[in-house]
Amino acid sequence: MKTLLRKLNWRLILIHFLAIWLIMDAFRHIASLYDYNFFASISKSNPTHWTLKEIRPLANIYPDLDIRIAGNALRIQLLAFIGLLGAFLFSLAITLKMKWFWLNSVIAFIAAFLIFRFHRTIPAKFFPIHYINYIDKLFPANLYSIWAFIIVIIITLTLGILFLFSSLVVRFIDKCAYKPMINPLPPTSEETIAENPEYD
């Protein structure tokens, strides 16, 4: 049990968790690009409880509103899961290549999966991408904000990839990696004679 605890690398777990989370959220945003105008319309309408009265204006614009919402929700969940799984596989590959303990990547994946599972119940202020989204404020109001949305995706993906592949991050993680003590082999008879000429 003590050896298992020593093998846990909290730097690796935290950094790879953030990387998987960021890549997952980037893929979630990529899925939103498919029907961006629809999401922009919903954002402008700003419904609070999604009652019939609140969504009626949207229903007039989009007769297939319920089908469209369901299709977009499924697409977003699917791409977010693909991002989650893909980022985890990269994390695991790096962990195995660096000869770090594989359970560290699995713990990072489980933590990110909980974010994926309970995404709707977690306040936005806890999401890193929530703050990256503030880049939208830098763009003029009359400029089509899809460009700000795309830049948010690029920044998020770049950060996630850097957390996984940056040599600086890899060295930072490796400093806390578990390295088992290896007992040196006893010297051979030839080495003993070479070090002690009196044996001649």
Tokens linked to 94: 């790096």
Check the CA dihedral 45-50-54-60 and report its sign.
positive
Report the pLDDT value the prediction gives residue 45, as an integer from 0 to 100.
Answer: 58
Output the tens digit of pLDDT for each of the chain's 200 residues: 677 778 889 999 999 999 999 999 999 999 988 887 777 766 665 555 555 566 666 666 676 777 877 888 899 999 999 999 999 999 999 999 999 999 999 999 999 999 999 988 888 888 888 888 888 777 766 565 788 888 999 999 999 999 999 999 999 998 887 776 655 556 555 555 555 555 44
Cα–Cα separations (whole angstroms), residue 56 to 35, 36, 51, 129? 19, 20, 9, 31
- Whether the Cβ atoms of residue 164 and residue 19 lie closer than 8 Å to each other: yes
Q: Give the N- to C-terminal CA distance of the chain in Å, as an integer.
A: 49
- Which pLDDT value is given to residue 83? 96
Where are the alpha helices (H) located in the chain, listed in sequence order? 2-7, 10-33, 36-45, 52-61, 65-97, 102-117, 128-132, 146-165, 167-174, 189-195
Q: What is the pTM of this model?
A: 0.78
Rounded-to-integer distance, Cα 112 and Cα 132, Å: 18
What's the total number of domains in the chain?
A: 1
Q: Residue 163 is part of which domain span?
A: 2-199
